[in-house]
Amino acid sequence: MPLLKSENRSDEGPRGRRGGRTSRTASRRLPSFIGPAKPLSRTIPTYELLDEDDLLRLEEHSDWILDEIGVEIHDGEALDLFRQAGARVDGRQARFEPGLVRALCATAPPVFQMFGRNSTSDITVGGDSVVFVPAYGPPFVSDLEGGRRYATIVDFENFVKLTQLSPWMHHSGGTICEPVDLPVNKRHLDMVYAHLRYSTKPFMGSVTSVERAEDSLQMARICYGTDYLDNHCVIQGNINVNSPLVFDRVMVDSLKAYARANQGCVISPFILGGAMGPVTQPALVAQALAEAMVGIALTQLIRSGSPMVLGVFLTTMNLRTGAPTFGTPEANLATYAIGQLVRRLNLPLRAGGHLTSSKVLDAQAAQESGDTMLVGLQAGANFVLQAAGWLEGGLVIGYEKFVFDLDRCGSHSRMLTGLLVDDNTLAADAFREAGTGTSFLGVSHTMANFETANYQSDLADDTSFEQWSADGSLDSAHRANLRWKEMLANYHPPPFEQDVDEELRDFMDSKKASDEDRWY
Amino acid sequence: MPLLKSENRSDEGPRGRRGGRTSRTASRRLPSFIGPAKPLSRTIPTYELLDEDDLLRLEEHSDWILDEIGVEIHDGEALDLFRQAGARVDGRQARFEPGLVRALCATAPPVFQMFGRNSTSDITVGGDSVVFVPAYGPPFVSDLEGGRRYATIVDFENFVKLTQLSPWMHHSGGTICEPVDLPVNKRHLDMVYAHLRYSTKPFMGSVTSVERAEDSLQMARICYGTDYLDNHCVIQGNINVNSPLVFDRVMVDSLKAYARANQGCVISPFILGGAMGPVTQPALVAQALAEAMVGIALTQLIRSGSPMVLGVFLTTMNLRTGAPTFGTPEANLATYAIGQLVRRLNLPLRAGGHLTSSKVLDAQAAQESGDTMLVGLQAGANFVLQAAGWLEGGLVIGYEKFVFDLDRCGSHSRMLTGLLVDDNTLAADAFREAGTGTSFLGVSHTMANFETANYQSDLADDTSFEQWSADGSLDSAHRANLRWKEMLANYHPPPFEQDVDEELRDFMDSKKASDEDRWY
């Protein structure tokens, strides 16, 4: 059952959830880079790289992989469910007749809603909707003054706050960075708390063990209410397949936990061509499709109708050094192909993101990020994880990179709305008024349209060289350094019910007291 | 008559032109960023933004502009030719019945060849072919050590040499930068000489006065032979319309000179939305199409079949400051629309380029450049002027930016060849060999394909943080600084016949002696 907006939800909403369209910050006069999330709907066509013959061939190859090679699943329940559904199970290996896995995916909703702590934070996932989500996973953080260092819970909270502040981020993300100052077995509590407390946007919980996944779900229940959670998706698990063609125990456990709770998963094979899959992109595309479909199929066997996102995270390697590379032509072409195939499955697609292997916010970072993102959006991405902050192949989240990427998400938000051809935009009267050889600056049409005609970048500098020099000759990275500090200075936590806060803290305290700290 | 490769051209070619596939440099062992130009043919689909109704509406609006507003032409011969062709001429204003200008464009070839000084430098313009051409016009130059300064003829020659060295540049460009150390009325001679002497690739001559255009053509005749030039396109004029809707005397004179000599023009309205045209992009698109078609039509009235490129150079302004902005969502959307319209005209399209208003090679520069270029290529660009070097809205050519852009052109060259789905790329045997859960690094398919599977960037750094730090923590700009110096150190001038060289020098000396130096 698709989790579309429930009919009987009151404006007050469940506990911990505040209704209405305003928040404390929204009523103040704020710069353009701060504000409630702006819902984004694509009105431009997707890019169709491959023809029908090629697409059929890739689908058949996915089917062949599942039928002849199969997938290895380290979980008895999952193997049983697949056997009952018709798979041929041999030890941990499951093999599938052509078409079977695709058919099992059919109950996953093509479009679903996720709910935040107020109605302005609710989002739609799938269809024409596009959702930007921050970086996930970096153990390191960097900024211009502090350099590159291990991330802490303070960094984590800062990025939750920056995400909450941005009108271009629709989702609070998950492990925006790893707070490595906290014990490995307890940091998920503080991360989930930060998402609930400092953001109103939907978010992701822990997937690093079934207990941590259950803790994440339980904290969401404390905040949103147990009944509410059973039919409203507020939290997701980010599930990576252990490519090639392996679903390991931890990931399957977490996948099952989220699906059973009727919450979402983003299921993304992560494949470097030449390492976790063949070196040629068409093979990777077929493999990624096969792996992701098996993950989706499993969620549907656990709970039919649970809301899933089919992700892909394919990229290239430098085949001389083994280093992953991003925004490359081969990775981009593969993304277009995956987009076409996932549309034929009618599932929400994760693709894109601002990915780079650069160490700093330089030209390489912007180029690799920019191409990955533009291509992902043209490929039809609905859910764009890693949309802000990534550096160094995901090892680092950069403060400057984060706000640079936010501005890019704003620009793409305009791009996705397309070119409206109508009487106003054709501007016949402007031509009549200006005639030939004169400026359009003063004509009525320009005056009436100039404030809304263009997306105005928050960070790009288009002043004269003289003005730019007088302002300190700051490059993008140095301007971005000023920006993230200005944003954090403008942050005010959203309202939060005190009893919910206390219950969350009690839960965390009791969990933390119940086990030793572990650092590995 | 399309200027396709002549049947009776011998390998020796005409004077000044060397036949054969090798050159002095090609036989030595060189790094991947140095080599003969690699011809580039698009095999991926263009991106179709607008539907048929919108396209018809834009075409009708172009027709309406030409019929009701008309264009202002500061040239009696051009007005006479248009009157004879059916236009309504009133003073300097020419107006056209719907469809007339489009019909006059029909004799311009959809595809033509340009010829260089050896057969490896010949290029195809139009159809599926894509040609990268360096920056045009900047009076300033910059590099990391020297900073921003006026360009000189030494800089000009350096960029001709860098262009000649790059496998990704197909054309030597024109005024790659303005050698402002030379008199305004004589510098065209040294620029044309540099293109002829230091490059083997096709190039652009002067358009700043009819005399300078004729000098450029004459120097091409000295090098290639008068008869050869009459039916082989080796030189082009870069003609900007004086938007909105004005063809000024200088530009029309130059356009006529190139067309009469059966050489090419690239005719590009340069329109900032809100200044030289309305602030809304659909109106700009219709205006640009109208202006460019009038220019093409005029070339065909001067010499039917002369080889032309329809260019567009539309972008946005910061409407608070009046500064031009590049790579913006609105400009990109307009580019897609223009691409669709020019395909319906069946003419070679100029679009794309690595454009930015950034002052330095930073993240902004890469992002704005990258989006403009990728979008232009997806829009179907055949002739990509400004493909390397641009900074600061075209006021500056940057040495580091130049080589960064070269690498991007290499990457896009791979992208444009698309994704081949066949038995090898589907790699069934690799899946059989690797099975589940093991690395593909050692499988036979990987070994057989890893050298050719991916474009390997010349400049991107994908090493570990530790390695990168040990190498000096160089960002893109600093790596590019090393690169352009390495390239120039590898430059060797192509062979050049001594008698041609002497005749060119005599011609320049006599022209220089015939007039005072002028500096404005």
Predicted confidence (pLDDT) per residue in A460-510, tens digit = 999 999 999 999 999 999 999 999 999 999 999 999 999 999 999 999 999
A131 sits in which H/E element: strand A131-132
Q: Which residues of B touch A465 (CB under 8 A)?
A: 148, 359, 392, 395-396
Q: Does residue A318 contact residue B462 with C-beta atoms inside 8 Å?
A: yes
The backbone region for A313, taken as left when phi is positive above 0, alpha when psi lies in -120 to 50, beta otherwise, is beta
Contact indicator for B110, B348 with CB cutoff of 8 Å: yes
- Compute the average pLDDT of residues B208-214: 97
Q: Which of B53, B150, B280, B360 to mutate to test the interface with A (most CBs of A within 10 A)?
A: B280
Q: Are B175 and B137 in contact (CB under 8 A)?
A: yes
Report the C-alpha gap between B290 and B287 in whole angstroms.
Answer: 5
Separation between Cα atoms, residue A387 and residue B34, nearest integer Å: 35
Separation CA B478–CA B30 (nearest Å): 22
Q: What is the per-residue pLDDT for B18?
A: 52
| Nearest by CB: B367 against A359, A408, A430 | A408
**Nearest CA among A307, A173, A233, A220 for reference residue A507:** A220
Q: What would the pLDDT profile of A307-361 be if each residue is shown by its tens digit?
A: 999 998 999 999 788 899 999 999 999 999 999 999 999 999 999 999 999 999 9
Residue with tokens 């979402």: A264
**pLDDT bracket for residue A5 (50, 70, 90):** very low
Sort out which chain A residues have CB atoms less than 8 A from B392's CB and list them.
465
Q: How far is B436 from chain A (nearest CA, A)?
A: 5
Q: Tell me the count of A-B CB pairs closer than 8 A.
A: 379
Backbone angles phi, psi at A199, to 5 degrees: -135, 155
The pLDDT tens digits for B235-252 are 999 999 999 999 999 999
Residue B152 has pLDDT above 80, yes or no: yes
Return the SS3 of B317.
strand
**pLDDT tens for residues A421-452?**
999 999 999 999 999 999 999 999 999 998 88
- For residue B493, give how far its alpha carbon lies from the nearest alpha carbon of chain A (Å): 31
Residue B478: band (very low, low, confident or very high) from pLDDT cuts 50, 70, 90: very high
Q: What angle do CA B87, B90, B93 make, to 5 degrees?
A: 75
Geometric angle at alpha carbon A421, from A416 and A425, rounded to 5°: 105
* pLDDT, mean of residues B199-211: 97
Burial degree of B438 (CB within 10 A; 0-12, 13-18, 19+):
middle
The distance of A449 to chain B (nearest Cα, Å) reads: 7
Range in A273-282, B68-77, B310-319 the model is least confident about: B310-319
Spatial distance between the Cα atoms of B320 and A32, rounded to a whole number of angstroms = 14
Contact B42, B379 (CB under 8 A): no
Residue A181 pLDDT > 50: yes
pLDDT category at B14 given cuts 50, 70, 90 is: low
Residue A512 has pLDDT above 80, yes or no: yes
Nearest to A44 by CA among B46, B331, B337, B49: B49
Nearest CA in chain B to A43: B49
B215 has pLDDT over 80: yes
Decide if pLDDT at B19 tops 70.
no
Contact A310, A345 (CB under 8 A): yes
Share of chain B above pLDDT 90, in %: 91
- Using the beta-carbon criterion (under 8 Å), do A367 and B367 form an inter-chain contact? yes
Write down the mean pLDDT value for chain B.
94
Q: A16 pLDDT band (50/70/90 cuts)?
A: low
Q: Do A462 and B93 touch (CB under 8 A)?
A: no
Nearest by Cα to B476 from B403, B389, B390, B387: B403
Say whether A393 and B446 touch across the interface (CB within 8 A): no
Helix (H, G, I), strand (E, B) or coil at B129: strand
CA distance B511 to B501: 15
Please report, in angstroms and rounded to a whole number, the separation of the first and last CA atoms in chain A. 39
Q: What is the mean pLDDT of residues A150-158?
A: 98
Cα–Cα distances (Å) from B397 to A450, B202, B305, in that order, read: 30, 20, 34
Residue B322 has pLDDT above 90, yes or no: no
Which residues of chain A neighbour B364 with C-beta distances below 8 Å? 366, 459-461, 475-476
Q: Provide, as residue numbers in chain B, all residues whose Cβ is less than 8 Å from the Cβ of A371.
A: 370, 374
Taking the C-alpha atoms of residue B188 and residue A141, their distance in angstroms, rounded to an integer, is 52
Nearest partner of B134 among B214, B238, B223, B53, judged by Cα: B238
Say if residues B377 and B416 touch (Cβ distance below 8 Å). Answer: yes
Q: A453 to chain B: nearest residue by CA?
A: B280
DSSP string, B367-393: HHHHHHHHHHHHTT-SEETT-S-EEGG
Segment A132-153, tens digit of pLDDT: 999 999 999 999 999 999 999 9
Q: What is the pLDDT of residues B481-497, one digit of tens each?
A: 999 999 999 999 999 99
pLDDT score recorded for residue A31: 87
Neighbours of A255 (CB within 10 A): 28
Partners of residue B203 on adjacent β-strands: B235
Q: Got the DSSP string for A387-441?
A: -S-EEGGGTEEEHHHHHHHHHHHHHHHHHTT----SHHHHTHHHHHHH-SSS-ST
**Distance of residue B325 Cα from the nearest chain A Cα, in angstroms:** 7
Query: Is there a cis peptide before residue A307, judged by omega within 30 degrees of 0?
Result: no
Instruction: Write down the pLDDT at residue B312.
Output: 86
Residue B304: half-sphere exposure toward Cβ, Cα within 13 Å: 7
Query: Which chain A residue lies closest to B62 (C-alpha atoms)?
Result: A426
**Whether pLDDT at B313 is above 50:** yes
Facing residue for A69 by CB, picked from B280, B436, B456: B436
Q: Contact at 8 Å (CB) between B305 and B259?
A: no
Whether B427 sits inside 8 A of A148 (CB atoms) is no
Residue A199 predicted with pLDDT over 80: yes
Closest-CA residue in chain A for B361?
A363
Q: For residue A243, which amino acid is it?
A: S
Count of other CB atoms within 10 angstroms of residue A295:
29
**Tell me, what's the pLDDT at A15?**
67
Q: Which residues of A touch B474 (CB under 8 A)?
A: none
Can you read off the two tokens belonging to residue A483? 């920006």
pLDDT attached to residue A483: 97
A13 to chain B nearest CA, in Å?
Answer: 38
Give the whole-angstrom CA distance, residue A190 versus residue A427.
55
Q: What dihedral angle (degrees, nearest 10) is formed by the CA atoms of A255, A257, A259, A265? A: -40
Identify which of A47, A363, A396 has the shortest CB distance to residue B363: A363
Contacts of B303 (CB under 8 A, 6+ apart): B259, B260, B262
Contacts of residue A408, Cβ cutoff 8 Å, sequence gap at least 6? A354, A369, A370, A373, B367
The dihedral through the CA atoms of B50, B51, B52, B58 has a sign that is: negative
Between chains, do B329 and A360 touch, taking CB under 8 Å as contact? no
* Rounded Cα gap, residues B454 and B440, in angstroms: 16
Residue of A nearest to B329 (CA): A415
Q: Are B162 and B488 in contact (CB under 8 A)?
A: yes
* pLDDT of the residue at A294: 98
Is the pLDDT reported for residue B15 higher than 80?
no
For chain A, helix, strand, coil in percent to 5 are 45, 15, 40
User: What does the longest C-alpha to C-alpha distance in chain B come to?
Assistant: 79
Interacting residues of B210 by C-beta distance below 8 A, sequence separation 6+: B250, B253, B254, B256, B257
> Could you tell me whether strands B264-272 and B313-317 are parallel, antiparallel, or unpaired per DSSP bridges?
parallel
Q: What whole-number distance in Å separates Cα of residue A72 and Cα of residue B284?
A: 57
**B286: closest chain A residue by CA:** A426
Give Cα separations from B437 to A64, A92, A486 (angstroms).
17, 12, 47
Q: Quick one: pLDDT at residue B7?
A: 38
Taking contacts as CB-CB distances below 8 angstroms, the residues of chain B near A430 are 278, 283
Cβ contact, residue pair A475, B364, below 8 Å: yes
Q: Closest CB to A392: pick one of B320, B465, B480.
A: B465
- Give B233-300 as a DSSP string: B-EEEEEEEBTTTEE-HHHHHHHHHHHHTT-EEEEEEEEEBTTTB-SSHHHHHHHHHHHHHHHHHHHH
CB contact under 8 A, B457 and A49: no
Please tell me the distance from the alpha carbon of residue A336 to that of residue A346, in angstroms, as a whole number.
Answer: 15
Residue to substitute from A272, A321, A440, interface B, most B β-carbons within 10 A: A440
Looking at the complex, report in whole angstroms how far the Cα of residue B433 sits from the nearest Cα belonging to chain A.
Answer: 10
**Position of tokens 């007050």?**
A12
Q: Would the CB atoms of B242 and A274 count as touching at under 8 Å?
A: no
Closest of A452, A463, A369 to residue A409, by C-alpha? A369
**pTM confidence score:** 0.95
Phi, psi of B239 (to 5 degrees): -105, 120
